[in-house]
Amino acid sequence: MLYKFAKKTWFKFPLVLLLIVSFANMSFRMNPTGEVILNAGTIIPLETIGIISSENLTAGQIIDLKVRTDIKVGDKVVIVGGSIAKAQVTIVKQPKGLGKEGFVELQVKSVQTVDGKTVNLSSGSINKSGSDKTGLSIALGIFVCILFLLIKGKNAEIPASYQVDATVSSNVTVNVN
């Protein structure tokens, strides 16, 4: 008796329709919590805010950089363009006598997401050398006056809006509500 009842078309059609709608709802439903995952290896385009010079830096100092564009996962913004990223001065050398140039190296460290989480960054480093005046210093020191050996090289300068790309170190769950 139950078999004959189930065999009727008016019972099969709604059942099949219900199964299709249920499957579609489970397959394409958005994450209800509004969380997305920013994957490791995602490239974060950054740029310097101002001129960075070896003249006024010390090793370990923190420097601010700016995110160039919005970083999105799907259609959700996880890092807003213009956000501040942090870089650390790893090496700084002042220009010296004999025309030796200055040198500066920065390592990009982190940036914050829209929900305030810190994202560790890697493989983003900037290094610049000043201009070397060793040849000029030695030549003038030998042929003109020994005091020319005291000529210093130029400080290393990273210009404003200098661009560097860093990558996300590990997966980060971001709440985009």
Q: How many CA atoms lie within 13 A of 38 on its CB side?
A: 29
Nearest residue to 154 (alpha-carbon basis) of 126, 132, 127: 132
Bridge partner residues of 100 (DSSP):
96
Structure pTM? Answer: 0.69
CATH number of 34-175: 2.40.128
Angle subtended at Cα 62 by Cα 59 and Cα 63, rounded to the nearest 5 degrees? 110
Q: Helix, strand or coil for residue 151? A: coil
What pLDDT score was predicted for residue 65?
95
pLDDT tens digits, 136-169: 555 666 666 666 556 666 788 889 999 999 999 9
The pLDDT of residue 127 is: 73
Check the CA dihedral 119-41-26-70 and report its sign.
Answer: positive
Is 40:171 a contact under the CB 8 Å cutoff? yes
Predicted pLDDT at 30: 47
The pLDDT value recorded for residue 154 is 77
Residue ranges, the chain, pLDDT below 70: 1-33, 96-100, 129-153
User: pLDDT at position 6, please?
Assistant: 53
